[in-house]
Amino acid sequence: MQQGEILVVDDDPHLREVVTYALTREGFTVHEAENGVAALERFDAAPVDLIVLDVLMPEMDGLEVCRRIRANSNVPIVFLSSRGEEIDKVLGLELGGDDYVAKPFSPRELVSRVKAVLRRTRGAEAAATSSDSAEMNHAGLRIDTTEHRVWANGTELQLTVTEFRLLSVLMGRPGRVYTREDLVEHAYPGNHHVSDRTVDSHVRRIRQKLRDQRLDPIETVHGLGFRLRK
């Protein structure tokens, strides 16, 4: 069964071959790009459902590719990198990545991460077409789950699927404290690899987008988690 189209971007042809084989076996259609420039050209020509993106590449690294894609698209991005330092992971997520896999990795783990990210994406899309979808308003924020759109002080925000789900959870019960475990359960369904730092990175990115519109409604409850101020 066709699972979706994926763009694999890495300057190592052997790694592209391994990743392509693993994803193809699971029913995905895979396209390849050998560097960041080729990736942008391929994505501009024909959008895909998800991008597997290496960080360290010549000419244009994966972080810059992510920046340029995020200027116009919220397509899910899973980073790959041989640099496993926490700071690199956090930077990738704060730029708009949805997940991060450090090399060397198991192809089975990568496929699991890709499927988990796509489940979140498709879950959000399904919610957007549900008759039970609703609009939420609170303190200058408006979320339309039918159209999967968010406004802050009247300005529409561009959120990734993960960011949208996190903000929707917090908007659902203003004043309630959500632990990081709560947020993982609600906003990252089926992904058991999500760390506290991943949640923090996505929340930090949401906050910055809100602050750009002179809103700062998300509050950190130290030792517990986060809540939306009443």
- Residue 151 CA, chain-centre distance (Å), reads 19
Among 33-47, 78-92, 151-165, 203-217, whose mean pLDDT is lowest? 78-92
| 199/186 Cα distance (integer angstroms) | 12
Domains and CATH numbers, the chain: 4-122 (3.40.50.2300), 130-228 (1.10.10.10)
Contacts for 132 with CB less than 8 Å, ≥ 6 apart: none
Task: Find out whether 133 and 207 touch, Cβ atoms under 8 Å.
Answer: no
- Residue 18 CA, chain-centre distance (Å), reads 23
How confident is the model at residue 128, as a pLDDT?
47
Instruction: Report CA torsion sign: 200, 84, 104, 92.
Output: positive
pLDDT in tens, 18-38: 999 999 999 999 999 999 999
How confident is the model at residue 94, as a pLDDT?
77
Bridge-based pairing state of the strands 50-54 and 218-221: unpaired
Token digits of residue 134: 């609703």
Q: 196 falls in which pLDDT band (50, 70, 90)?
A: confident
How confident is the model at residue 153, as a pLDDT?
93
Greatest distance between any 2 Cα atoms in the chain: 52
* CB atoms inside a 10 Å sphere around CB 56: 16
Of 94, 88, 96, 120, the C-alpha closest to 193 is 120
Mean pLDDT of 41-53: 92
pLDDT at 219 over 90: yes
The mean of the pLDDT values for the chain is 85
How confident is the model at residue 86, as a pLDDT?
63
Bridge-based pairing state of the strands 99-102 and 225-228: unpaired
Whole-model pTM? 0.65
How confident is the model at residue 197, as a pLDDT?
79
pLDDT in tens, 100-158: 888 889 999 999 989 988 887 766 555 444 434 478 899 899 998 877 889 999 999 98
Phi, psi of 97, deg, nearest 5 = -70, 150
